[in-house]
């Protein structure tokens, strides 16, 4: 009788078997993966914190700083104690941004921003602009190539002049400025070049042919440049944001070169410029080289393009048809 009692108490229940399997999975599969990821995350955080302490006093040149993401970037770097140089075509808007920055309460030393006029379409004027910018603080530590324009048009109806303008501003203007700044960075053996590309520079969407092409080109240039300047102790990061709630789609060009004049539905639901700027700063401090800043949908689309191209192409065809119906 006593033996029966002991037998009943020690016999494993059905539920214990399930828990044993779960513990086995956690111990043999999850833990070996989770522990390194946690350690890497802690290392990255410590690196970001260390690099953040080095930011005060750094000279940061930001193009397209008169609004949107460029303006948000001006805020995060100014508050980090950097000497920001704001560049764009609209000087009155740059002065507004400068005024807003100087009204901020900053912990530590704050440096008055510098405002400079820059038209990325005027390629011949860019070398002089770069020399003038470098002369302000005797160098540039971080160049953020943010300036650019977008397009909302069908490829077949887009005037060639529009393609040329978008490629000139988004690609050639950015490349010209980068090349003009690089020699001073090479001489000092320090510097960080940042390109603000787009998810559409990785996966092209319908009715964005000119824009996507320019961002594709920028992505390729940054990848080549990164390898070339690594031995010179220079850093290159390419950021590819998803939809950001800015005026980019409003100011986008149409097939004829006129202003689009309205905000896209997807853009209106995008992340805030402030959120994107904060992510860019964090990734820059972490010395990341190629960064996608977007929601899950865009990241899935990016990987789908490479893992299952036929499905991706089918989805884009359906998207093109739905866009026509909406219009």
Cβ neighbours for 287, distance < 8 A, ≥ 6 positions apart: 47, 51, 235, 237
Per-residue pLDDT, 5? 46
Average model confidence (pLDDT) across the chain: 85
pLDDT tens digits for range 284-310? 999 999 999 988 888 888 888 888 889
3-state DSSP percent of the chain in helix, strand and coil, to 5? 60, 10, 30
Alpha carbon distance 326, 233 (integer Å): 50
Mean pLDDT, residues 169-178 taken together: 97
Looking at mean pLDDT, say which of 103-112, 189-198, 199-208 comes out highest.
189-198
Q: Model confidence over 135-153: pLDDT tens digits?
A: 999 999 999 999 999 888 8
- The tokens describing 84, both together, are 């920001």
- Tell me, what's the pLDDT at 251? 74
Please, how many CA atoms are within 13 Å of residue 249, restricted to the half-sphere of its CB? 17
Cα–Cα distance for residue pair 125/120, rounded to 1 Å: 9
Q: What are the φ/ψ torsions at residue 86 (nearest 5 degrees)?
A: -100, 125
Residues taking part in catalysis:
211
Contact yes or no for 225/145 (Cβ under 8 A): no
- More reliable by pLDDT, 47 or 156: 156
**CA 154 – CA 282 distance, rounded (Å):** 36
- Tokens encoding 222: 């940054």
Residue 92, SS3 per DSSP: helix
Percent share of the chain, pLDDT over 70: 83
DSSP code, position 202:
T
pLDDT exceeds 70 at position 1: no
- Give the pLDDT confidence of 211-251 residue by residue, as tens digits: 999 999 999 999 999 999 999 999 999 999 988 887 777 77
Q: Are 61 and 142 in contact (CB under 8 A)?
A: yes
Is residue 262 pLDDT above 70, yes or no? yes
pLDDT per residue as tens digits for the range 26-77? 666 666 665 565 555 665 555 555 565 779 999 999 999 999 999 999 999 9
Name the band, by pLDDT with cuts 50, 70 and 90, for residue 11: very low
For residues 62 and 92, is the Cβ–Cβ distance under 8 A? no
């Amino acid at each position: 009788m006593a033996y029966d009692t002991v037998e009943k108490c020690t016999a494993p229940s059905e539920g214990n078997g399930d828990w044993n399997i779960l513990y086995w999975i956690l111990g043999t599969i999850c833990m070996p993966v989770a522990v390194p990821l946690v350690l890497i995350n802690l290392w990255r955080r410590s690196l970001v914190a260390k690099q953040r302490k080095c930011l005060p006093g750094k000279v940061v040149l930001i193009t397209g700083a008169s609004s949107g993401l460029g303006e948000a970037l001006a805020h995060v770097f100014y508050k980090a104690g950097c000497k920001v140089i704001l560049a764009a075509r609209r000087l009155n808007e740059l002065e507004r941004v400068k005024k807003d920055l100087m009204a901020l309460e900053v912990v530590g030393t704050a440096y008055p921003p510098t405002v400079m006029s820059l038209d990325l379409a005027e390629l011949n004027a860019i070398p002089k602009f770069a020399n003038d910018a470098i002369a302000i603080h005797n160098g540039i530590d971080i160049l953020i190539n943010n300036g650019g324009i977008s397009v909302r048009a069908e490829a077949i109806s887009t005037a060639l002049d529009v393609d040329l303008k978008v490629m000139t501003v988004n690609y050639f203007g950015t490349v010209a400025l980068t090349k003009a700044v690089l020699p001073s960075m090479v001489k000092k053996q320090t510097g960080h070049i940042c390109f603000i590309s787009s998810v559409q520079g990785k996966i092209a969407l319908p009715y964005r042919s000119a824009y996507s092409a320019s961002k594709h080109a920028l992505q390729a240039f940054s990848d080549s440049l990164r390898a070339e300047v690594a031995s010179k102790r220079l850093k290159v990061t390419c950021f590819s944001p998803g939809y950001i709630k800015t005026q980019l789609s409003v100011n986008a060009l149409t097939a004829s070169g006129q202003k689009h004049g309205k905000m896209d539905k997807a853009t209106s639901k995008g992340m805030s410029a402030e959120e994107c700027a904060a992510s860019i700063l964090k990734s820059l401090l972490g010395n990341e080289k190629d960064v996608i800043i977007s929601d899950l949908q865009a990241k899935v689309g990016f990987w789908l393009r490479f893992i299952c191209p036929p499905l991706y192409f089918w989805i884009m065809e359906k998207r093109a048809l739905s866009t026509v119906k909406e219009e």
